[in-house]
Structure 1
Amino acid sequence: MPKFIKLYVKYVDAVNLKIGRAVMYMIFVMMAVLLFSSITRGVFGVSFLWIVEVAQMLLAAYYLLGGGYSMQLDSHVRMDLLYSRWSPRTRARVDAATSAFLIFYLVVLLIGGISSTEYAIQYNQKNYSAWAPPLAPIKIVMTTGIALMLLQAFSMFFKDLAKAKGESLT
């Protein structure tokens, strides 16, 4: 494989590794927010309008920013009817071929995310709720997560292509 592809894979993997490991701890922030909600509601009889929406936004950021990391670790869901019986090179060929569908999906998702983010910024879009938080920050995070997954999908494609040829990129 050309040197620029090896560098691309190295840097994309490094970025997704660092972001994925950092975002992994966001689950504790979400748990703290929900625990705060339970305590204030159960003990003090006070409920806050913003808690559920903050938890939803944290969850969206958690799984979208961690998507590239999940792909990198090969911990995503795979339907394993025949896959486990194939040789590593056959798996790599099939993975490289099916990567095209994933990349197409992520490109369409990214285009929609960019459009939606631009709209949210331009018109100061707010959520239709009593709290009415601005949606631009979470849409920026979501679009960033989709972009990171797209970059990682290309990295996985290059790794699978190299493996199918009997080479290694790492």
Structure 2
Amino acid sequence: MLGLAKAIDGINRAVASVVKWLALLMVLVQFCIVIGRYVFGVNSIAAQESVLYLHATVFMLGAGYTLLVDKHVRVDVFYARLGPAAQRRIDIFGHLFLLIPSMGALLYWSWPSVRNSWKILEGPISVGGIEAVFLLKSLIPAFCILILLQSFALLLRLFSERANA
């Protein structure tokens, strides 16, 4: 089972290795937009939207890796003061009763919108923008799947630790 968890980790690590370059690209594109607008008086709606697309891609596809390396936001104020066994119980509860159901609901309820967007190849957000809103909407199920996979891998580890404890 731990081999499966490592394989899932590998998926999110591979996605993150691509996404980190998209973050750099986003900064460079934004820099060019600012230079173009304020130095040369040139503006492009498509270029501005590309920053939005890159930003969404970085955050939506990078979330699984963030969960993997435990850098996600924790709301539990008592978690840090608890021992490893109590932390493990909270993590198991969080994955089984909060994270997995919420990602399942998001995947279920967003799918019709994504499917319809692909069916009509939904166009740009703004006039003159990127004609690929269907790709932007596709980030939602990709996000859910990457988070669900990583949650499953973490649960495998947590149950393995519990069995060994």
Structure 1-normalised TM-score? 0.88
Q: Where in structure 1 do 4 or more consecutive aligned residues deviate above 6 Å?
A: none
Residue pair 2:2, 2:157 contacting (<8 A) in 1 also: no
Partner deviation per Cα, 1:121-156 (whole Å, 9 max, x = no partner): 112222341124221122223322221111111111
Task: Tell me the equivalent position of 1:9.
Answer: 5
Q: Which residue matches 1:88?
A: 84
1:24 match: 20
Please give the alpha-carbon distance, in whole angstroms, between the structure 2 residues aligned to 1:72 and 1:161: 16
Is 1:53 the counterpart of 2:52 in the alignment? Answer: no
Question: What residue in structure 2 maps to residue 121 of structure 1?
Answer: 118
CA deviation after TM superposition for structure 1 residue 8, in Å: 2.1
Q: Which amino acid aligns with 1:159?
A: R
Question: After alignment, is 10-19 or 74-83 more displaced?
Answer: 74-83
Q: In the aligned structure 1, how far is the partner of 2:15 from the partner of 2:107? A: 19
Matching residue's letter, 2:162: A
Question: TM-score, normalized by length of structure 2?
Answer: 0.90
What are the ranges of 5 or more consecutive residues in structure 2 without an aligned counterpart? none
Higher helix proportion:
2
The 1-side partners of 2:135 and 2:116 are apart by: 12
Residue aligned with 2:127, SS: coil
Gaps of 5+ in 1: none
**Secondary structure, aligned partner of 1:46:** coil
Q: 1:79 aligns with which of 75, 81, 93?
A: 75
Task: For 1:113, give the aligned amino acid.
Answer: S
Q: Is the 8 A contact 1:61 1:142 kept in 2?
A: no
